[in-house]
Amino acid sequence: MSTMTYRELWCSSPRYWAGLALLGALVLIGLGAAYYMEHQGHYVTGMNNHIVWGLPHVFAIFLIVAASGALNVASIGSVFGGPMYKPLGRFSALLAIGLLAGGLYVLVLDLGRPDRLVVAMTTYNFKSIFTWNIFLYNGFFLIVALYIWSMIDRTAKWAYTPLGFTAFFWRLALTTGTGSIFGFLVAREAYDAAILAPMFIIMSFSYGLAFFILALLAAFWWAGRAIGDLRLTKLKNLLGVFIGAVLFFALVYHLTNLYITQHHGLESFVLLDGGIYTVMFWLGQVVIGSIVPLFLIYSPGFKTSRWAIAAASVLVLAGGFFQLYVLVIGGQAFPMPLFPGQEVLASTMLDGQIAPYTPSVPEFLLGMSGIVVAMTLVAVVSRMLQVLPDSLEDEQER
């Protein structure tokens, strides 16, 4: 068996620095948008007292969920002993850290008082799942950083397996915590369901792997290195399984709701007459995010097509974004059941009505820059540490 060599992301200066400058410019735009929203107040956004979590939250939750999923490739290598995945472990762990940082960056900058972050870090209410998440997120950074160290430093090899297991269980806890942000909300019909926690875990598998495949292809293209078809096919087939699993959970979630008379209104809102939310569910989550990528992945015509693998990954991410949009925004837009059996004739708080929400440009720019922050972090650290294999050609493996 040949030895795997890792090397920093090193390409010609203009190629690297121009890329980094582009990323930096996009981050600056996002920071500008955040400053504008913070300075003016949230009135410049589309958010209101009904839709209190808007587009930035969709981006933030999307990135946080994907972060834990991106670590899966490393976990398969160390926890489940998959030799094909082992060389990808370092990059997978780094991407996980990057995505989490990007998500938290958006989450914090969308706070009403981001300047009080220090209050959030020092004053706790341990009944709040948000408080637990603060520990889960910070712990994730620490554990995964140590995990990367145990993979890189040969003298730390003894720590590799225990850290691999710790990181794996920690990431499960982290996604459970993120899913529980919604699962614990008794007030709203779309949430308040224990299935949201495992559903978030399986969503993280899918989005995280899609992010990983894209980041890997991009980094190798940037550095001008080669990846063999065998390994990519493995990753791609795994993605197919995860897409199916997310669909299964979505099916169970909706079938359960359809059985319960009380939730028929919500289900008809999402599945039939919810306007943009119905379109996002069927066209966004089901067709674009699941059926088309499954076709691209399993169709014999695209067996080793890089283009098809990348396209499938992009579509999975788009579908995941729509799925979270329907859950986060749609779940708030649907009226809360305050007076069952009665129709609300008048209310200044839109009781009984679908709440309006139109995302604003600054919200979008802040959200997008979260993804860019993740990419920038990965690009910078990849140049510092030996996280990327020199080559992933098939012959090298066996």
Partner 1 sequence: MSNQTEQPDLERRGFIGKTVLAAGAAVVAPGVLVSVAGAGAKTDGADPGKRYGLLIDTNKCAEGCTACVTACNEEHGIDLMQKPEGLDEAQWQQQKPQWIRKVKLQDNLTGRVTNLPLMCQHCEFPPCVDVCPTGASFKRADGIVMVDRHTCIGCRYCMMACPYKARSFIHQEVEHQTVSAPRGKGCVESCNLCAYRLDYGADNTACAEACAAQGHNAILFGDLNDPNSELAQALSSAASRQIRGDLELNTGVRYTNV
State which of residues 81, 83, 128, 283 lies at the interface with partner 1 (CB under 8 A): 128
Asked if residue 141 binds partner 1 (CB under 8 A), the reply is: no
Tokens of 65: 């969920």
State which of residues 1, 3, 41, 154 lies at the interface with partner 1 (CB under 8 A): 41
For residue 388, give the H/E element and its range: strand 388-389
Provide, rounded to whole angstroms, the least separation between the CB of residue 77 and partner 1: 24
State which of residues 1, 14, 155, 187 lies at the interface with partner 1 (CB under 8 A): 187
Provide, rounded to whole angstroms, the least separation between the CB of residue 44 and partner 1: 8
Between residue 278 and residue 297, which ones bind partner 1 under the rule CB under 8 A? none
Provide, rounded to whole angstroms, the least separation between the CB of residue 130 and partner 1: 4
Contacts of residue 320, Cβ cutoff 8 Å, sequence gap at least 6: 62, 65, 66, 203, 206, 207, 210, 246, 285, 289
Q: Closest CB to partner 1 among 7 and 234?
A: 7
Q: Closest CB to partner 1 among 81 and 356?
A: 356
State which of residues 123, 158, 307, 395 lies at the interface with partner 1 (CB under 8 A): 123
Instruction: Answer whether 63's CB lies under 8 Å from 360's CB.
Output: no
- The closest alpha carbon to 59, from 268, 325, 358, belongs to 325
Provide, rounded to whole angstroms, the least separation between the CB of residue 119 and partner 1: 5
Tokens of 313: 């990954």
Asked if residue 380 binds partner 1 (CB under 8 A), the reply is: yes
How far apart, in whole angstroms, are the C-alpha atoms of residue 17 and residue 20? 5
State which of residues 146, 159, 172, 185 lies at the interface with partner 1 (CB under 8 A): 185
Instruction: Name the 3-class secondary structure at 389.
Output: strand
Look at phi and psi of residue 275 and say left if phi exceeds 0, alpha if psi is from -120 to 50, else beta: left
Contacts of residue 242, Cβ cutoff 8 Å, sequence gap at least 6: 202, 205, 206, 209
**Could you please report the per-residue DSSP string of 273-290?**
I-THHHHIIIIIIIIIII
Q: Closest CB to partner 1 among 169 and 339?
A: 339
Q: Closest CB to partner 1 among 19 and 337?
A: 337
Asked if residue 346 binds partner 1 (CB under 8 A), the reply is: yes
Provide, rounded to whole angstroms, the least separation between the CB of residue 381 and partner 1: 9
Question: CA–CA distance from 232 to each of 94, 201, 202, 235, 303 (Å)?
Answer: 19, 23, 21, 5, 10
Provide, rounded to whole angstroms, the least separation between the CB of residue 310 and partner 1: 27
How far apart, in whole angstroms, are the C-alpha atoms of residue 352 and residue 335? 5
Asked if residue 265 binds partner 1 (CB under 8 A), the reply is: no
State which of residues 355, 364, 396, 397 lies at the interface with partner 1 (CB under 8 A): 355
State which of residues 158, 342, 395, 398 lies at the interface with partner 1 (CB under 8 A): 342
Asked if residue 344 binds partner 1 (CB under 8 A), the reply is: yes
Asked if residue 349 binds partner 1 (CB under 8 A), the reply is: yes
Question: CA–CA distance from 178 to each of 50, 100, 283 (Å)?
Answer: 21, 12, 25
Buried b (16+ CB within 10 A) or exposed e, 4-38: eeeeebeeeeeebeebeeebeebbebbbebbeebb
- The closest alpha carbon to 90, from 13, 167, 200, belongs to 167
Q: Considering only 48-56, 138-146, 234-242, 316-324, which stretch makes contact with partner 1 by CB under 8 A?
A: 48-56
State which of residues 2, 122, 155, 261 lies at the interface with partner 1 (CB under 8 A): 122
Nearest-5° angle of CA 271, CA 247, CA 305?
120
Asked if residue 48 binds partner 1 (CB under 8 A), the reply is: yes
State which of residues 271, 350, 364, 391 lies at the interface with partner 1 (CB under 8 A): 350
Asked if residue 224 binds partner 1 (CB under 8 A), the reply is: no
Look at phi and psi of residue 191 and say left if phi exceeds 0, alpha if psi is from -120 to 50, else beta: beta
Which positions touch partner 1 (CB under 8 A)? 7-8, 10, 38, 40-43, 47-50, 52-53, 111-120, 122-125, 127-131, 134, 181, 184-188, 332, 336-339, 341-351, 355-356, 380, 383-384
